[in-house]
Amino acid sequence: MAGAVAHFGNWVTVILMVIGLYVVLARGNLIKKLIGLSIFQTSVYLLYVGPGKILGGTPPIIAEGFTVYANPLPHVLILTAIVVGVATLALGLALVVRIHEAYGTIEEDEVLGREGDS
């Protein structure tokens, strides 16, 4: 049972990762694919930030009376990842808008079908 508590965060991370991967692979809608990519990405946030936590610790802001802090390095990395992720999302959505402009659809199957016709 102690093992279950110790690894619960990892399980949630893995489940979210699997859902994100499935959405990216299985769904034909391009916007849905991008949202799946976002889910995958947030699961990576959990993967990084989770091990940095110390039970009984505080957020990494130096102050009198606190000696145990969470590990600040994952937080820094994930801040960068969030911001880069939103840049990726914006670029992907712009591409989707252009694809919709060119093909009149945002479904992957229909885009490939019209590519074959023309």
Residues 58-97 that bind other proteins (CB under 8 A): 58-63, 68-76, 78-80, 82-84, 86-91, 93-97
Residue 44 binds other proteins (CB under 8 A) = no
Minimum CB separation from other proteins for residue 57, in Å? 6
Residue 12 binds other proteins (CB under 8 A) = yes
For the chain, what's the residue count?
A: 118
Q: Which of 1, 65, 101, 116 binds other proteins (CB under 8 A)?
A: 101
Name the 3-class secondary structure at 22: helix
Report the alpha-carbon distance of residue 29 to residue 6 in Å, rounded. 37
Report the alpha-carbon distance of residue 58 to residue 51 in Å, rounded. 14
